[in-house]
């Protein structure tokens, strides 16, 4: 073989190596973890087989979204689903190495026997300075998880308060929680701008009051024993209420631009809307449902 032929062959091999080289794996850890955090937890875990470089990267994901309805139920027989889901969550939380979590979400059917397990998950989530926290148990049949008094008590201390300073949103569905606990989060989470509570039988009264309250969005839905809500905060721009007749006291909401009200039945007077009429001119979105007969 001539010298020219040998050089040509070497050039081809070099170009082939450059083409097949894994450039993605050469990226810094922070970038790769950010990419992995865009995947579902199941997909993120599968990246561990790509190479030794990727083996543990998924354990630093910042998105702990345990969506059992989507990822567990379709492939699992009904009587195995709870066991498999709990094992999955526990395993991920044991393996997870990250100290900061942008999202912690649990969505699944869980029986009353697992309240202690769920409480342990909450402790672990708060220990990772979580930003967006969600418990979604709306698929449970007649069972509601009750936010533990023991967690509330532990958060009142200096160490507990530091663990919730990063919270930006709290969403609770089919979780029994009192107004006292919600108000504690509202006043002790300086970054909290979204609060959503659905189907809580323990929520009777709620006060969102204070010039220092950062809350931008308040969403209260289908809390059967709700009696009154008091709002006075300059930062609120969105208020949504779906549920029974309540007493609504609202003032000092100069930023309010989105309002959505739905009643469980036909309403003979504007029990919710009347206190808000003076704010109508500043609204950009107004939704009124089941308010068929109105007298102000």
Provide block-wise average pLDDT over 10 residues at a time, the chain (296 residues): 50 50 69 87 83 84 90 66 90 93 92 91 94 90 86 91 95 96 97 97 96 96 94 96 89 93 60 75 85 45
Measured CA to CA, the distance from residue 175 to residue 148 in angstroms comes to 10
Measured CA to CA, the distance from residue 261 to residue 256 in angstroms comes to 14
What local confidence, expressed as pLDDT, does residue 70 receive? Answer: 79
What local confidence, expressed as pLDDT, does residue 7 receive? Answer: 47
Is 59 in contact with 90 (CB distance < 8 Å)? no
Measured CA to CA, the distance from residue 37 to residue 34 in angstroms comes to 5
Q: Is the dihedral of CA 80, 86, 91, 92 positive or negative?
A: positive
What local confidence, expressed as pLDDT, does residue 32 receive? Answer: 84
- What's the predicted TM-score (pTM) here? 0.85
Task: Phi first, then psi: give them for residue 133, nearest 5 degrees.
Answer: -120, 125
What local confidence, expressed as pLDDT, does residue 78 receive? Answer: 63
Is 275 in contact with 255 (CB distance < 8 Å)? no
Give alpha helix (H) positions in the chain. 3-20, 29-36, 41-46, 68-71, 78-95, 115-127, 149-155, 158-162, 179-188
Q: How many CB atoms lie within 10 A of CB 72?
A: 21
Residue 82: partners with Cβ closer than 8 Å, 6 or more residues away? 108, 109, 110, 111, 114
What local confidence, expressed as pLDDT, does residue 261 receive? Answer: 86
What local confidence, expressed as pLDDT, does residue 12 receive? Answer: 54
**First CA to last CA distance, the chain:** 99
What local confidence, expressed as pLDDT, does residue 160 receive? Answer: 87
What local confidence, expressed as pLDDT, does residue 66 receive? Answer: 95
Q: What is the distance of C-alpha 90 from the center of its chain?
A: 19
What local confidence, expressed as pLDDT, does residue 293 receive? Answer: 46
What local confidence, expressed as pLDDT, does residue 279 receive? Answer: 84
Measured CA to CA, the distance from residue 285 to residue 83 in angstroms comes to 44
């Amino acid at each position: 073989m001539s010298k020219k032929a040998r050089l040509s062959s070497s050039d081809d091999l070099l170009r082939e190596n450059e083409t097949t080289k894994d450039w993605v794996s050469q990226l810094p850890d922070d970038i790769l973890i950010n990419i992995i955090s865009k995947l579902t937890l199941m997909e993120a875990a599968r990246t561990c087989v790509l190479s030794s470089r990727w083996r543990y990267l998924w354990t630093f994901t910042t998105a702990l979204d345990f969506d059992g309805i989507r990822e567990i139920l379709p492939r699992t027989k009904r009587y195995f689903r709870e066991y498999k889901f709990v094992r999955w969550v526990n395993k991920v939380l044991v393996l997870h190495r990250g100290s900061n979590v942008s999202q912690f979400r649990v969505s699944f059917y869980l029986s009353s026997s697992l309240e202690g397990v769920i409480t342990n998950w909450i402790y672990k989530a708060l220990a990772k300075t979580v930003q967006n926290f969600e418990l979604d148990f709306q698929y449970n049949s007649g069972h509601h998880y009750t936010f533990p008094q023991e967690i509330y008590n532990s958060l009142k201390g200096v160490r507990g308060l530091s663990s919730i300073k990063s919270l930006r949103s709290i969403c609770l569905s089919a979780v029994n929680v009192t107004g006292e606990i919600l108000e504690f989060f509202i006043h002790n989470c300086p970054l909290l701008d979204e609060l959503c509570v659905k189907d809580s039988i323990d929520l009777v009264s709620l006060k969102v009051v204070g010039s220092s309250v950062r809350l931008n969005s308040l969403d209260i839905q289908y809390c059967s024993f709700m009696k009154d809500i008091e709002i006075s905060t300059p930062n609120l721009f969105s208020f949504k209420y779906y549920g029974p007749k309540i007493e609504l006291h609202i003032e000092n909401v100069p930023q309010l631009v989105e309002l959505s009200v739905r009643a469980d039945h036909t309403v003979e007077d504007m029990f919710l809307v009347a206190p808000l009429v003076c704010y109508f001119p500043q609204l950009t979105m107004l939704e009124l449902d089941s308010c068929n007969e109105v007298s102000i």
